Every structure is written in C-alpha cells, then in structure tokens.
Amino acid sequence: MIDLNKLDIEHLTQIALLSNTPNYFFSNFYEDASIELISELYNTEELISSFNEILEKKNKTLEDFVHLYGILFALFHKPYQEIEGFLGHLDEISVTWLNYFINYYNIYLNRPLSTATIDYKPRPPIISIQTYVKGNG
Amino acid sequence: MIPIIGLKTTNKFETRAGTQIIGFINDDINPQIFNYVRKLERDYPKAIPRSDISSNYNCHGLIFSSRRCFIDNISYIPTILKEDQYQKIDDIKEVRPGDIIIYSDNTGIVHSGIVITKPDRNNLFNPDIISKWSNFKEYIHPANHCPYSLNSERQYFRIYK
C-alpha cells in the first residue's frame, strides 16, 4: 500500500472542487508536484494495486475520491506501455471524466487516440451528501 | 467538482441555431466543501461572495443557462458562442458591463464570467466579474483575481443583436 499522506490532499481537493470542466482538473492534477512524487516513489503495480483498493471501497469519502484521482494521475506519469492495459479496463462509470482525461493525456503526450473511445457522457461532478454521510458514518 | 455520483436530473436547452446543450442539476452539497471555502476566500480576499454554495450550476451554467445547470462539456462552449452570435472584442477598452469573459489555458476553456464594470486605467483594465466557482459560490472579483486567472488567457465576447 502506498503512503497517500504524501499527496497534497488539501490542494488537490480544492482543485477538484473548483473544476468547472475536466480540462482544468487534468492540467492541475497532472502538474501537481505531490502526484509526481508518488509516481516517482512507487512502481506501476503498487499504484494500480492501491487504485483498485480504493476503487472497490463502498461509500467513498471525498478524500477517497481525491486519492483515487491522485493515483490515476500518478500513473499518467508512467511509461505508456505500463498503463495501457490498466486504462483499457477502466470505465467512465467508475471514474468520471475518465474519457476526457485519457483524451488530454493522449494530447499532452502525443499518444495515439486509438487507445480509447471518446464517447463522453457527462455527469454532474458532485458527490452526493448521502454518499458522503454514509462514508463517514 | 469531483467525480461524481448523485446524478439527479438533466437540463436541456438549445442555442439560437437549435443545437441541443445538455447540463446537469444536483442540489446535493458535499459538506466538506464548507471546510474548503474558508481557505479559498482567504486566498482570494478581493473576491466578494454573492450567493451560497451550490452544485446546481457552474460558471458556464450561470452564463449560458441562466443558472439552471452545470455544464461540464467544454465542447459546447465554442458552439454556443458561435450559434448565439457572440463576437470577440479585441480591444479591452471597448469591453462593457454585460459582456462575457472566457478564461482558457493550454487545455481549453476553464472558466467564464460576466463583466460588471468597465475596464479602465483605475482597475488596470481588469474589470470586475461575476462568476461561479464550480461547486463553490458566485463571486464578484477582478478579472485577474480568481483561481482560474493564473496562466490563462482572457477573452471578451458580446452579443450585438
């Protein structure tokens, strides 16, 4: 399990809450120093393992979501060949704005767009209060 | 934002040319937002709140859907600007209250707002703006004093007819 305390949770949460659109989220998360740090400290397998562990949690808290996205963006700093399969197994239901993020990732790093189908079905970027309360109850 | 659960309803409207725009409404508020709004307002002391916290609409929803919904699909924005016949204002001295401001970085459009004062020498050509800061509040703020103004280009638009 990776040390998620290394993520700048306060800053990242504020960015997440301030994001009107996925591109603002993407550029700020991708360039965040604490995310780059955990990408350097942990290998791809460790990051994926932690990602899946959080993803499987029921009643995720806001912090869980920020950790989840922090790890995802740490993986974006890994060599493409190491994460291609992982990205292919994710879906937009589990990770909102995922297709947007993969699209920006491809653009930033000049990856072939064929690795993901961009079929964006937007959902409002909000964690419901019920979800949050259950997660912290 | 954050990803996202708790979809309540969609809100659909059309541009003048008839293109359908889909936004979303969610009146749930993540209670943790209240912890972050204090820090945000400390970071931007010149920003004056003019609403409560709301996730019902974002900046683009404020301007283009009359505060009816949250529009997160940025591909809509150029479509709306074109089909609603907004025109870009190239000379900052020509900007007037009622015009809109669009903030863009190297990933595209990140924010928008409504101009409420005339840019001039006194405000260093940074007019006051009303804008909604995603899941937070609406704020009145100088154009260069918001979370989206760093490293972004600002363009002004107006509907003339």
Residue B65 lies in a domain: yes
Residue of A nearest to B104 (CA): A24
Q: What is the pLDDT of residue B114?
A: 98
As a whole number of angstroms, the distance between CA B125 and CA A129 comes to 41
Residue B27 lies in a domain: yes
pTM, full prediction: 0.84
What is the count of residue pairs from A and B with beta carbons less than 8 Å apart?
149
Chain B residues near residue A96 by CB distance under 8 angstroms: 3-5
Q: What is the pLDDT of residues B112-128, one digit of tens each?
A: 999 999 999 999 999 99
CATH of the domain at B150: 3.90.1720
Tokens (6 digits) for A121: 């079905």
Q: Which residue has the tokens 């209250």?
A: B97
Residues 23-82 of A with CB under 8 A from B: 23-27, 62, 65-66, 68-69
Residue B24 lies in a domain: yes
- Indicate the burial class of B31 (C-beta count within 10 angstroms; 0-12, 13-18, 19 or more): middle
Q: What is the pLDDT of residue A13?
A: 93
Q: What is the pLDDT of residues B74-115, one digit of tens each?
A: 899 999 999 999 999 999 999 999 999 999 998 899 999 999
Give this complex's ipTM.
0.88
**Among B21, B10, B33, residue whose Cα is nearest residue B134:** B33
Give the closest of B31, B60, B147 to A129, CB-based: B31
Residue B2 lies in a domain: no
Residue of A nearest to B54 (CA): A126
Tokens (6 digits) for B119: 């840019």
Number of domains into which chain B is organized = 1
Give the closest of B3, B55, B132 to A65, CB-based: B3
Give the closest of A26, A130, A133 to B107, CB-based: A26
**Among A120, A113, A101, residue whose Cα is nearest residue A22:** A101
Confidence band, pLDDT 50/70/90 cuts, at residue B51: very high
**Would you call A92 an interface residue with chain B, using a CB distance cutoff of 8 Å?**
no
Subunit contact A126:B30, Cβ cutoff 8 A: yes
Q: What is the pLDDT of residue B3?
A: 46
Residue B4 lies in a domain: no
Residue B79 lies in a domain: yes
Q: Which residue has the tokens 């293109």?
A: B19
**Would you call A18 an interface residue with chain B, using a CB distance cutoff of 8 Å?**
yes
Percent of chain B with pLDDT over 90: 76
The sheet with strand B108-115 has its strands ordered as B48-49, B138-142, B128-132, B108-115, B100-105, B153-159, B86-89
Helix, strand, coil % in chain A, rounded to nearest 5: 65, 0, 35
Q: What is the pLDDT of residues B133-153, one digit of tens each?
A: 999 999 999 999 999 998 899
Residue B1 lies in a domain: no
Residue B64 lies in a domain: yes
Q: Which domain holds residue B114?
A: 9-159
Q: How would DSSP label each residue in B40-88?
A: HHHH-TTPEE-S---SS--HHHHHHSTTS-B---TTHHHHHHHHTTEEE
Subunit contact A123:B106, Cβ cutoff 8 A: no
Give the closest of B29, B106, B135 to A129, CB-based: B29
